Structure 1
């Protein structure tokens, strides 16, 4: 009898906590339903962050502020988010130098900044298919197709491979629409979006299809032929087109928007890019 009474007392004591857990579970479920509805309705995530607390070291922040223009255009709130994402990126990825290249802090910071810039509008920003950043001094021989490359994304090895000299040229020259870092990070984002079912991937797929549909419009095809605005390599295949399109979007948004406003808008929605004047 005493045991039964004690069990009843314990049940009565635990009941409020059980109710609270159930209510929290229901609330979380309803929140996720609303979050999905919001993303589909407005074509952007309801929240990109739940918590922001990580900060770059003083030396890393100095490199970012002195060399990465995009960061300096952000609001104080977005700067905190950007730093949080960069610290996460730098902690998750292993940087490896090849052909005797010594990987320095500046290299890590600028590569992380480039990746975080491209994924800044996404809730899922961590490039989960990349574990390694392999850096060569210059062009390197790739066994993927037995040719020399400036960069590649190798999903089998979970590696983003870059020629540092070409990455640096692409990053420093900001108005030629040639940016190796943006190009290769976009390839990683493309494959991730094909393999995932999260909100960002759904939006990516939807806008990507709208971009491809635009290319079937005779008016757009005629203008592409007439202006030769995008470099020829863009038309290698649909994935290269998207990578090149993103280079143009980042480096010359005003010019891109003037020539192809619908393609610009779909790219902007694909990336959820509402920062720094884009």
Structure 2
């Protein structure tokens, strides 16, 4: 039954992709205004990639169900657009078919919330059993408003979801993180975990919990502390360029963020 449900999600994604490709499904003016006003990553892309970003954004939003929790009766357009745009930012280097289809529900709380799953307070979490991603809006906005502090709840949770989705075999999205680069990344991360525990790393302390948290924190740094990260650990940075199939450093040079990363990959 679960595999049939996942397959139906995959077919739904393909249907929405066709609607987007033929121009029947587009961002509304209100949605485009939010994206254009509050999401700098989008502005740094070339016009070609801005169009792709918009198409992927509307596809993502139509494939997810958003639910307000903790006092929110509904999820606003602004919330849907900015949360979804953060997901597309993480996914942008991958083929359009990678939409985290297993995670079809996004719950939005006003602030930190108590999780009945972990029995702790959270800024966000990922629940693979029920296909849920949870975001605390106040904390999400804090991260979005400071794009250079290496702390972003949205990026963090979508990095977790990405890693889990890579292991799910029955929904059309599987094995997209290249094994060779993942193995190299894990080797480097294991050494870096020791440095974090000794207080000698640029990665924040949450990363020391395990390899899963380290990955999420390093993806935050990849997008938010790009220059410092590459200078501090060029090998690990290169691993993430290949794993995520994009290089945010290119955003600072005016070069297309995906094009050069993919060309480099083809040359290896």
| Shared fold, TM over 0.5 | yes
Instruction: For structure 2, list consecutive stretches of 5 or more residues without a partner in the other structure.
Output: 1-17, 258-268
Aligned to 1:213: 187
Aligned to 2:232: 259
Out of 77, 96, 113, the position equivalent to 2:67 is 96
Q: Deviations over 1:95-134 (max 9, x none)?
A: 1001221411011100010001100001132111111110
2:102·2:165 contact (CA, 8 Å) conserved in 1? Answer: yes
Q: Distance in 2 between matches of 1:230 and 1:245?
A: 7
Structural mapping, 1:1-278, within 5 Å: 51=21, 53=23, 54-101=25-72, 102-123=74-95, 124-196=97-169, 201-216=175-190, 225=198, 227-274=200-247, 276-277=251-252
What is the RMSD of the two structures over their aligned residues, measured on CA atoms? 2.4
Instruction: For structure 1, list consecutive stretches of 5 or more residues without a partner in the other structure.
Output: 1-48
Task: Specify whether residues 223 and 238 from structure 1 end up closer, same or farther in structure 2 by C-alpha distance, changes over 3 A only.
Answer: closer
Give the aligned length. Answer: 228
Report deviation, 1:221.
7.1
Q: Deviations over 1:199-249 (max 9, x none)?
A: 8724344322211112456xx678665732111110111010000000000
The two structures have a TM-score, normalised by structure 1, of 0.75
Report deviation, 1:153.
0.6
1:52·1:81 contact (CA, 8 Å) conserved in 2? Answer: no
Aligned to 1:9: none
1:121·1:272 contact (CA, 8 Å) conserved in 2? Answer: yes
Q: Distance in 1 between matches of 2:213 and 2:37?
A: 31
Q: Distance in 2 between matches of 1:70 and 1:144?
A: 33
Question: SS of the counterpart of 1:107?
Answer: helix
Question: SS of the counterpart of 2:107?
Answer: strand
Q: Distance in 1 between matches of 2:166 and 2:193?
A: 27
Q: Distance in 1 between matches of 2:120 and 2:112?
A: 10
The two structures have a TM-score, normalised by structure 2, of 0.78
